A and B are shown apart, each in its own frame.
Chain A
Amino acid sequence: AQSVTQLGSHVSVSEGALVLLRCNYSSSVPPYLFWYVQYPNQGLQLLLKYTSAATLVKGINGFEAEFKKSETSFHLTKPSAHMSDAAEYFCAATTSGTYKYIFGTGTRLKVLA
């Protein structure tokens, strides 16, 4: 069965430091992968998506993610954290032929001044 695992429910980084949020997926068929961000009291908005084109995907706000099939991973990175990046981040997956999206349990990012 398809699943998405996010390692670390809480991550803290200093302002200006590298952000790395981990996501691993389990799928018997090629997945489509997404990262969403949720700011307090708001809905989720798309950061970036992988749909079997380039394995390195660039998104909004300086975030990027790399699809690594051998590691079944889709980790989210940003070279330099900004205070405005503090939010909850969700990794999600779906596959061709299904209408269902599977979400990870989320990682709350805290940025320290």
Chain B
Amino acid sequence: NAGVTQTPKFRVLKTGQSMTLLCAQDMNHEYMYWYRQDPGMGLRLIHYSVGEGTTAKGEVPDGYNVSRLKKQNFLLGLESAAPSQTSVYFCASSYLERTGELFFGEGSRLTVL
């Protein structure tokens, strides 16, 4: 099983460029999440989805958009990248049961110049 797969793993952007991060899970999980990880700040929730066709804002949603057109995929978009969006981005998914743990991808390191 691949689990949670993120692409790309590394990307360098110039300010103002756009890009999309793709997260794919093969565990049939209902819930999917996008986090960003910055030194000393832990993981902060950007957006999440509780099922196909649904999305919701997390703690730090500004500057990001998401879509969940298929249950197994959760896309994170940056329409106009800013240096403040330089970070490591993690996708995670979990079981429908609410005590289920999160399964994480390996991360996508984004640098915005």
In the bound complex, what is the Cα–Cα distance between A44 and B48 (angstroms)? 17
In the bound complex, what is the Cα–Cα distance between A63 and B98 (angstroms)? 23
Instruction: Please encode chain B, from 39 to 70, with 1 for each CB lying within 8 Å of some chain A CB and 0 for all others.
Output: 01111110010100000101000000000000
In the bound complex, what is the Cα–Cα distance between A42 and B4 (angstroms)? 12
Known: A51-B99, A105-B42. A100 touches B105 (CB 8 A): no
Known: A43-B90, A99-B48. A49 touches B41 (CB 8 A): no
In the bound complex, what is the Cα–Cα distance between A34 and B99 (angstroms)? 10
Contact pick for A49, options B35, B99, B104, CB 8 Å = B99
Task: Evaluate contact between A44 and B102: CB separation under 8 angstroms.
Answer: yes
Which residues from A are CB-within-8-Å of B74?
A: none
Q: Does A14 contact B (CB under 8 A)?
A: no
Q: Interface extent on A, as a size class?
A: 20 to 34
Q: Interface extent on B, as a size class?
A: 20 to 34
Which residues from B are CB-within-8-Å of A100?
A: 45, 48, 58
Nearest-Cβ distance from residue B23 to partner chain A, whole angstroms: 11
The main secondary structure of chain B at its interface with chain A is strand
In the bound complex, what is the Cα–Cα distance between A100 and B33 (angstroms)? 9
Task: Evaluate contact between B42 and A42: CB separation under 8 angstroms.
Answer: no
In the bound complex, what is the Cα–Cα distance between A42 and B108 (angstroms)? 10
Task: Evaluate contact between A94 and B40: CB separation under 8 angstroms.
Answer: no
Task: Evaluate contact between B99 and A32: CB separation under 8 angstroms.
Answer: yes
Task: Evaluate contact between A43 and B40: CB separation under 8 angstroms.
Answer: no
Nearest-Cβ distance from residue A95 to partner chain B, whole angstroms: 8
Q: Does B31 contact A (CB under 8 A)?
A: yes
Q: Does A25 contact B (CB under 8 A)?
A: no
Q: Does A67 contact B (CB under 8 A)?
A: no
In the bound complex, what is the Cα–Cα distance between A42 and B109 (angstroms)? 11
In the bound complex, what is the Cα–Cα distance between A41 and B90 (angstroms)? 11
Q: Contact residues of B with A, CB < 8 Å?
A: 4, 31, 33, 35, 40-45, 48, 50, 56, 58, 90, 92, 98-99, 101-102, 104-107
Q: A42-B106, A44-B102, A105-B40 are in contact. List 8 more A-B contacts (CB 8 A).
A: A34-B101, A41-B107, A44-B90, A44-B104, A94-B98, A96-B99, A98-B98, A101-B33
